[in-house]
A = this chain, B = another copy of it.
Amino acid sequence: MEGRVRRSREEAALTRLAAVEMASRLFRERGVESVSVGEVMASLGMTAGGFYRAFESKEALAAEACAAAFAGSALASAPSAATMLRRYLSTAHRDAPADGCPLPALASDAAHQPAVRRAYTEGVRDALARIEALAPGADSKALLAGMVGALVIARAVDDEELSAAMLRETRRFWTEALP
């Protein structure tokens, strides 16, 4: 296109927020390393060059986008432990990683990239606190491990029946195991 160029500062700030939000979704869907800066900006109708007016590097975006993913996690709003388990261990959650919990989606990135790792650690602490609030007395770490593991395996497997069974059986076990 020709040169429609400078936006107002307000618009630029909104663009920045939109980039973080878009990156947070794309990173959960496909992993930080598989999504390019150019793709994030193109999704916003912009070119890659402008990215560096708003962010210092891709790593800085990764840190912000992951923190944003944890901050906006839907797990926060469940009214009971049973509801949390039903929503978390659902095929809908499995099939929508971009909108879902970052713990299964970003585990591999966190294991290999320090910027993601920091946000991830806080996300684990928050998740444990939420589980303890919803299910006092439950073994929160074993429960979180089961939820995250079931989703990770359900997303990695080729067989729809096996995938659904991982979610269903894990949900059933923990629904019965809770006080």
Contact = CB atoms under 8 A, between A and B. Distances in A.
A173 B170 CA distance: 15
Contacts of A33: 33-34
Contact of A148 (B120, B124, B139, B153): B153
Nearest to A177: B177
Contacts of A146: 142, 145-146, 149
A141 B145 contact: no
Q: Which of A144, A152, A159 neighbours the largest number of chain B CB atoms within 10 Å of its CB?
A: A152
- Count of identical protomers in the assembly: 2
Contacts of A177: 177
Interface in A83-115: 103-104, 106-112
A155 interface: yes
Nearest to A171: B142
Interface string A164-179: 0110011011100100
A162 interface: yes
Contacts of A145: 145-147, 149-150, 153, 166, 170
